[in-house]
A = this chain, B = another copy of it.
């Protein structure tokens, strides 16, 4: 398979696959005589794993660790769980931050008439009352 085929099969764009190779998230692909990268079913599986991990918000670095654990038969599931738990904590932190922003914005917006007059509690709030 060429890079375009594996891109279609895995859902990871060709450009991104090259990028992952360049940052060593995946090993260098084999090449044809003319320099084309070639892939097989294992590569597709690995890229799908990466895709799913990224879509759950794991950083590329964490995905590297997850890949290592995935391929390591002597792993302890505790290690994987620890990574996931830490990641969930980070997600919770972000959710809380966004919710706090949202609430403040809602409070300010509710008090704003939103008409063609200039007085605006949102701007006043941003200015610090």
Residues of A within 8 A of B (CB): 45, 48-49, 52-53, 55-57, 66, 69-70, 72-78, 80-82, 84-85, 87-88, 91-92, 94-95, 98-99, 101-102, 104-106, 108-109, 112-120, 122-123, 125-128
How many angstroms from the CA of A3 to the CA of B82 in the assembled complex?
Answer: 44
B98, A66: Cβ atoms closer than 8 Å: no
Copies in the complex: 2
Secondary structure dominating the interface of A: helix
A102, B91: Cβ atoms closer than 8 Å: yes
A122 CB, nearest partner CB in chain B, Å: 5
28 pairs, CB–CB < 8 Å, chain A vs chain B: A45-B127, A48-B127, A48-B128, A49-B126, A56-B104, A56-B126, A66-B123, A66-B126, A69-B120, A74-B118, A75-B120, A76-B117, A76-B118, A77-B113, A77-B118, A77-B119, A77-B122, A78-B116, A80-B112, A80-B120, A80-B122, A84-B108, A84-B109, A84-B122, A87-B105, A95-B95, A95-B98, A98-B98
